[in-house]
């Protein structure tokens, strides 16, 4: 069997397993989706009130609606809970049997992410389609090229957020507050990745800080691609280049944390 | 390891049954036992928490960080507007202080107490609670006090006070009294929402993260309810009454609403409490135990 076919078989089994586990907990997944939807809904409600009949920084009410719908979908497609899992695996010793398997534990985490995202983003997509039937403001033009580019940007963003979450979770080798650090990262990302407002509405100084960090590439860039507010080839290339560079840096951080951490790891339990 | 847990639970069960027998006799003699049990539980918690003083520092730092992000969010909104739902900046900061004070109560008492209910319904751990000769709702709700998280309460009220001084308004005695009543009512409404949400666990046994639903809903209480579009406002005032948790106390403090609003708040709190209690009773009737 060729290597590729073997990996396809492995991933097939892992994803099937994750899908079936999720199926058991489908009510919990619905709750996580509700949680993921309320934050953008409330932000949209506030911006809706502020925009009134005019515009805010070039955004009218309909633009805000499209932005936050796209945000819900892209966030659901890129979110990664892995630091919480890793924190538990390391603290409670669940990492031990995962290390004993002939497959790196990260593959299980990736498969989990794929299964979870397929289900939760599918739900959001259906909600969006129903909303678009009755609400013209959130309709997107049929533009296969734009959608294809968005898909690529979403995959890169999902990979980056996965490695951020995984690497931060690995800090549990050294500290008991790894998830708190991930929480702080989320607090900063609230502004710098565009969760609370489109980046164009941030004060220029803050937007400047965001531009040299990874935050815009994990959410704002794919969202802007989907809503059609990335203009020109230069902006497009700049966005993808930023995604690739930061993805590479976070993969490096993950590798460093993994090798150093394992060396330190004195297994618990068993 | 699992077998050890099983034995341990069985042993606890026996011990609890014995305790229940003794307790039943004791409760008959001493009518104030509920308060005494509460005092004993919280004293124990306090002693436990005092061992982890680093948690105090972490809690304060965490609170300051989250207050900071909330203030920055407001600053961002107010870069593009002068009023939010008719409220100016410092008025919304008063509301944010109230929000944070209630967060302190939630994190110190409700989440570590009733917030664990869903998991216990699932595992059957609730059997141990029901075997106790105390009111199950009261015990489940108030069994824990994570005292460090009360820093949120103090810092929240501090923030509200500072914002009030920036508004240049000194509340009169009547206004302060109205605020205290409205804030207490807000606490009861939040509690009732928790009880109602957690009671759902008796129907949806596989859902361990029910508390997420509260976080999702409560997110809406960060801003004055007048800022939301009509449909959302209706939901927040009448269906999921979170408007009564922050908008009303903040309005009472800033004088946006007259002191008589406190009476309405108290009535809403009483209604919410009774409804939640009835819902809890109905839910508990569905419980058949899992560990037996």
Dihedral of the alpha carbons of A208, A212, A217, A223, in degrees to the nearest 10: 10
H helices present in A135-214, as ranges: 144-170, 178-192, 204-211
pLDDT for the residue B163:
95
Is the CB of residue B61 less than 8 Å away from at least one CB of chain A? no
pLDDT for the residue A157:
97
Structure tokens at B289: 């135990």
Residue A270 lies in a domain: no
Nearest to A38 among B62, B65, B219 (CB): B219
Checking if the pLDDT of A208 tops 70, the result is: yes
3-class secondary structure for A58-72? CECHHHHHHHHHHHH
Cα–Cα dist B195/B172, whole Å? 35
pLDDT for the residue B235:
87
Nearest to A35 among B65, B215, B228 (CB): B215
The pLDDT mean for chain A works out to: 91
Tell me how many domains chain A contains: 1
Is the CB of residue A237 less than 8 Å away from at least one CB of chain B? no
A56 min Cα distance to partner chain B (Å): 7
Residue of B nearest to A177 (CA): B58
Residue B254 lies in a domain: yes
Phi and psi of B87, rounded to 5°?
A: -100, 145
**Of residues A257 and A2, more confidently modeled:** A257
Residue A269 lies in a domain: no
Q: Pick out chain B residues at pLDDT < 50.
A: 1-15, 17-31, 292
Is the CB of residue A122 less than 8 Å away from at least one CB of chain B? no
B74 neighbors B93 (Cβ within 8 angstroms)? yes
Nearest residue to B124 (alpha-carbon basis) of B10, B242, B246, B265? B10
pLDDT for the residue B18:
47
Nearest residue to B1 (alpha-carbon basis) of A85, A97, A91, A269? A269
Tell me how many domains chain B contains: 1
Chain B positions touching A93 (Cβ under 8 A) are: none
Chain A positions touching B212 (Cβ under 8 A) are: 31-32, 34-35
Structural domain span for residue B269 = 2-19+33-284
Structural domain span for residue A106 = 3-264
Nearest to B219 among A39, A49, A201 (CB): A39
Residue A7 lies in a domain: yes
Nearest to A28 among B84, B208, B220 (CB): B208
Residue of A nearest to B64 (CA): A184
Is the CB of residue A184 less than 8 Å away from at least one CB of chain B? yes
Residue A168 lies in a domain: yes
Residue B28 lies in a domain: no
pLDDT for the residue B6:
46
CA A13, A31, B247 angle in degrees (round to 5)? 155
Residue B266 lies in a domain: yes
Cβ distance B223 to A191 less than 8 Å, yes or no, reads: no
Report residue A206's pLDDT band, with 50, 70 and 90 as the boundaries.
very high
Chain B positions touching A31 (Cβ under 8 A) are: 207, 209-210, 212-213, 216
Nearest residue to A77 (alpha-carbon basis) of A162, A139, A17? A162
Cβ distance B222 to A57 less than 8 Å, yes or no, reads: no
A185 min Cα distance to partner chain B (Å): 11
Only one residue has tokens 């509690």, namely: B191
Is the CB of residue A20 less than 8 Å away from at least one CB of chain B? no
Task: Tell me which residues of chain A, numbers 54 to 73, contact chain B at a CB-CB cutoff of 8 Å.
Answer: 56-57
pLDDT for the residue A35:
84
pLDDT tens sequence across A109-154: 999 999 999 988 888 999 899 999 999 888 888 889 999 999 999 9
Residue A48 lies in a domain: yes
B96 neighbors B159 (Cβ within 8 angstroms)? yes
Q: Would you call B84 helix, strand, or coil by DSSP?
A: strand
Cβ distance A191 to B58 less than 8 Å, yes or no, reads: no
Cβ distance A38 to B62 less than 8 Å, yes or no, reads: no
Give me the percent of chain A exceeding a pLDDT of 90: 67
Structure tokens at B197: 């949400």
Complex ipTM value: 0.87
Structure tokens at B167: 């508004």
Is the CB of residue B262 less than 8 Å away from at least one CB of chain A? no
Is the CB of residue A131 less than 8 Å away from at least one CB of chain B? no
Cβ distance A34 to B228 less than 8 Å, yes or no, reads: no
Phi and psi of A51, rounded to 5°?
A: -65, -35
A33 neighbors A120 (Cβ within 8 angstroms)? yes
Report the residue of A22, A43, A45, A207 to disrupt the B interface, i.e. the one with the largest count of B CBs within 10 Å: A45
Structure tokens at A63: 């633009």
B257 neighbors A78 (Cβ within 8 angstroms)? no
pLDDT tens sequence across A20-44: 988 887 777 888 888 888 899 999 9
Chain B positions touching A197 (Cβ under 8 A) are: 76
Checking if the pLDDT of A192 tops 60, the result is: yes
- DSSP state letters, B89-147: HHHHHHHHHHHHHHHHHIIIIITTTGGGHHHHHHHTTHHHHHTSSS-HHHHHHHS---G
pLDDT for the residue B157:
95
Nearest to B207 among A31, A190, A201 (CB): A31
Chain B positions touching A24 (Cβ under 8 A) are: 206
Nearest residue to B71 (alpha-carbon basis) of A182, A52, A196? A196
Listed in sequence order, the residues at least 6 apart from A267 whose beta carbon sits closer than 8 Å to its beta carbon are A93, A95, A96
Cβ distance B84 to A49 less than 8 Å, yes or no, reads: yes
Residue A243 lies in a domain: yes
Q: How many CA atoms lie within 13 A of B44 on its CB side?
A: 9
Cα–Cα dist A72/A81, whole Å? 16
Residue B291 lies in a domain: no
Residue B141 lies in a domain: yes
Cα–Cα dist B249/B260, whole Å? 12
């Amino acid at each position: 069997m060729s290597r590729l076919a073997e990996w396809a078989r492995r991933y097939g089994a892992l994803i099937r397993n994750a899908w079936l586990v999720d199926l058991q907990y489908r009510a919990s997944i619905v709750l996580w989706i509700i949680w993921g939807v309320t934050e953008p809904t409330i932000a949209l409600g506030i911006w809706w009130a502020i925009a009134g009949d005019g515009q805010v920084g070039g955004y009218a009410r309909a633009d805000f609606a499209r932005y936050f719908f796209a945000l819900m979908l892209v966030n659901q497609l890129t979110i990664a809970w892995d630091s919480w899992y890793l924190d538990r695996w390391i603290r409670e010793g669940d990492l031990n049997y995962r290390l004993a398997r002939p497959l790196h534990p990260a593959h299980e985490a990736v498969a989990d992410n794929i299964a979870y995202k397929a289900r939760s983003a599918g739900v959001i997509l259906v909600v969006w389609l129903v909303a678009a039937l009755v609400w013209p403001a959130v309709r997107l033009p049929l533009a296969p090229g734009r959608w294809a580019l968005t898909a690529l940007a979403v995959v890169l963003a999902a990979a980056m957020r996965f490695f951020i979450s995984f690497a931060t979770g690995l800090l549990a080798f050294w500290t008991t507050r790894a998830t708190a650090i991930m929480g702080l990262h989320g607090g900063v990302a609230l502004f710098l990745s565009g969760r609370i407002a489109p980046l164009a509405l941030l004060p220029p100084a803050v937007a400047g800080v965001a531009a040299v960090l990874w935050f815009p590439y994990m959410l704002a860039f794919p969202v802007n691609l989907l809503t059609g507010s990335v203009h020109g080839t230069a902006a497009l290339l700049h966005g993808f280049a930023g995604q690739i560079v930061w993805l590479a840096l976070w993969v490096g951080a993950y590798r460093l944390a993994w090798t150093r951490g394992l060396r330190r790891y004195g297994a618990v339990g068993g | 390891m699992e077998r050890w847990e099983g034995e341990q639970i069985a042993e606890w069960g026996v011990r609890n049954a014995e305790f229940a027998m003794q307790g039943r006799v004791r409760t008959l003699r001493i009518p104030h036992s509920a308060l005494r049990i509460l005092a004993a539980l919280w004293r124990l918690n306090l002693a436990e928490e005092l061992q982890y003083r680093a948690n105090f520092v972490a809690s304060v730092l965490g609170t300051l960080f989250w207050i900071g992000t909330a203030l920055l969010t407001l600053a961002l909104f107010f870069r593009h507007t002068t009023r939010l739902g008719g409220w100016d900046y410092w008025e919304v900061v008063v509301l944010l202080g109230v929000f944070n004070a209630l967060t302190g109560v939630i994190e110190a008492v409700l989440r570590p107490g009733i917030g664990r209910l869903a998991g216990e319904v699932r595992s059957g751990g609730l059997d141990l609670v029901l075997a106790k000769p105390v009111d199950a709702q009261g015990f489940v709700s108030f069994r824990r006090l994570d005292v460090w998280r009360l820093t949120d309460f103090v810092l929240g009220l501090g923030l509200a006070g500072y914002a009030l001084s920036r508004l240049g308004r000194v509340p009169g005695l009547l206004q302060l009294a109205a605020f205290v009543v409205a804030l207490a009512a807000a606490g009861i409404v939040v509690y009732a929402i928790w009880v109602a949400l957690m009671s759902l666990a008796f129907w949806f046994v596989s859902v361990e993260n029910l508390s997420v639903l509260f976080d999702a809903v409560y997110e809406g209480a960060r801003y004055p309810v007048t800022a939301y579009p009509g449909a959302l406002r209706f939901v927040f005032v009448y269906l999921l009454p979170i408007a009564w948790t922050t908008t009303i106390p903040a309005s009472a403090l800033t004088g946006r609403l007259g002191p008589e609003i406190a009476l309405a708040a108290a009535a809403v709190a009483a209604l919410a409490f009774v409804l939640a209690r009835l819902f809890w009773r109905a839910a508990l009737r569905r419980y058949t135990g899992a560990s037996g």
